[in-house]
Amino acid sequence: MSDIQSIVIVGGGTAGWLAAAFLQRTLSATRPTPLPITLIESPQIGTIGVGEATVPTLRATMQALGLPESTLFTAADATLKNGIRFNGWRKGGTAAEDSYDHPFDMPLPFNGYPATVHWLNLMQRGMLQPPMAEACTVQTRLYDGNQSPKLMHSPDYQAPVSYGYHLDAVKLATLLQQTAIERGVQHVQGNVAQVHRGPAGIESVELDDGRRFAASFFVDCSGFQSLLLQKTLDVPWESFSDWLPCDRAVAFPVAYADENAPLRSYTTSTAQDAGWTWEIDLQSRSGTGYVYASRFCSDDEAVATLQRHNAGRTALAEPRLLRMRVGHAARAWEQNCLALGLAGGFIEPLESTGIYLIEWVLQLFVDHIAPAGDSTVCRDRLNRAVGDVYEELRDFIVAHYALSQRRDTPFWRTCTDPASMPPRLAELLQLWDAKLPTPTDLDKRLSLFGPANWTYILAGMHRLPSRGIGLAAHIAPEVSLKAMEHVRSVRQMASQQSPTLRDFVRKLRGAV
């Protein structure tokens, strides 16, 4: 693999165009002549066209591509995201006390301990009540004021707190397409009808008009059908459907009441009878969808649920029904082919991990193309890491369901059945009944979700250590009270400084 001479990418969704732009940028940098990269996409088979919420890693990826942040606001309808708000996941219904936040920021430190330790110290002494994220982080204050994580004059890709984007996935793919093509990627429109295989892997792909494209390396970005990796190289699929029953989604955008309507600077995820709905505020519209399990809910019921959820708002398009295949290919990289995006794996978008996984695998791949030595060892290592990260993310997502107290529908009874929990997760939850999550609990910790992220979910679902607070037991309650006071004052300061998201976006667009 040290000797990639040319690349053909099949698929022109977010995965395909991100791969084209990223590989062009990274692999051509050290070569005397640019690496020939060709991207083939079908004009007939559309892209999935969803994927509107991101995590903070996209900022680094956009920077690595050399794109100014303003392009996202002008070309991809982007807004800013402080994190996610989960409604109704613990008990169902709309009670405010059944709502919790998962912000991107870490709990503030005070006197050598994260605020979460101080919070738990006070909670267990009966001196404080949930919610935790509100008491321990700055960022959730910005949720409540619909405020931007960036200040008006924050430099590109920077802010006082961490942040991601809400954006139009189709427009993001178009932005990446323009960037890749301007930089020399060849764009071919056509349907791949046949894939030719040889002893070293894929030899060429043939379009239905007879054109044939050979390369030394292929990237499969063909979406759920995984034309190259699975259909041609026969790499098996490892399904997560035993643990994550949601296999469909319906989506449609809705209009804002008026042009001054507040923009929520967080993704909203609301538990429903057979899954959950999302709401994602972009500049020009709000994206909404319902992720559901077809075993427990028909497509018609799903559409009706989403329409009910959006009652009073004007739909801007007909509902789009999508099928999802949850799991991952046993090996992301086989012979001379790497699968990215839906072709390589998919976990339901509860924590916005789709685009993140594309970025993550791309970076790993570029890091593992051996300039010298044995390439097999690099490929095996990448495959192991990708498999591990999928399992880690699966457990994180499953925990959102498994910790629920809901038993009111067949879906929730299934999701909360202890028998339907991966053993690794069952062990972690047992551990966290005894102590707060700390870094050594997570054996590999490959993904971006660490102890603080787990703590937000556990605390939000009221699943905290029943006894014993470890290190916190040695902290005097007066110190922990001061910690809470410190967080409150930083929250207030942040709220005074931050513009509303609506004002931020308006000013930015006016200025460009």
Binding site for ligand FAD (CB under 6 A): 10-16, 40-42, 45, 47-48, 50-54, 169, 191-192, 221-223, 225, 227, 249, 289, 322, 324, 341-343, 349, 352, 354-356
Omega prior to 131 cis, within 30 of 0: yes
User: For residues 149 and 349, which CB has a smaller minimum distance to ligand FAD in the complex?
Assistant: 349
**Annotation-wise, does 457 bind a ligand?**
no
Residue count (the chain): 512
Burial (CB count <10 Å: 0-12, 13-18, 19+), residue 181: middle
C-beta of 267: minimal distance to ligand FAD in Å?
7
C-beta of 57: minimal distance to ligand FAD in Å?
10
C-beta of 80: minimal distance to ligand FAD in Å?
15
Helix (H, G, I), strand (E, B) or coil at 320: strand
Q: Which amino acid is at 452?
A: A
Residue 6 CA, distance from chain mean position? 30
User: For residues 225 and 420, which CB has a smaller minimum distance to ligand FAD in the complex?
Assistant: 225
C-beta of 78: minimal distance to ligand FAD in Å?
13
User: For residues 206 and 503, which CB has a smaller minimum distance to ligand FAD in the complex?
Assistant: 206
**Annotation-wise, does 277 bind a ligand?**
no
**Annotation-wise, does 351 bind a ligand?**
yes
The structure tokens 């995820």 sit at: 269
Beta strand segments in 95-245, E? 99-103, 109-110, 113-114, 164-166, 186-189, 192-198, 201-207, 212-214, 217-220, 237-239
**Annotation-wise, does 12 bind a ligand?**
yes
From CA 151, how far away is CA 502, in angstroms rounded? 12
User: For residues 243 and 346, which CB has a smaller minimum distance to ligand FAD in the complex?
Assistant: 346
- For residue 376, the tally of other CB atoms under 10 A from its CB is 10
* Residue 29 tokens, joined: 């940098």
**Sign of the Cα pseudo-torsion (346, 350, 354, 357, in order):** negative
**Annotation-wise, does 428 bind a ligand?**
no
* Residue 216 tokens, joined: 């030394």
Catalytic entry in 81, 91, 171, 231: 81
**Annotation-wise, does 14 bind a ligand?**
yes
Vertex 133 angle, CA 127 and 138, to 5°: 110
C-beta of 81: minimal distance to ligand FAD in Å?
10
**Annotation-wise, does 342 bind a ligand?**
yes
- Are 7 and 217 in contact by the 8 Å Cβ rule? The answer is yes
User: For residues 349 and 437, which CB has a smaller minimum distance to ligand FAD in the complex?
Assistant: 349
81 is catalytic: yes
Residue ranges for the known binding site for 7-chloro-L-tryptophan are: 81
| Residues with a known catalytic role | 81
Residue ranges for the known binding site for L-tryptophan are: 351
Residue ranges for the known binding site for FAD are: 12-15, 192, 342, 355
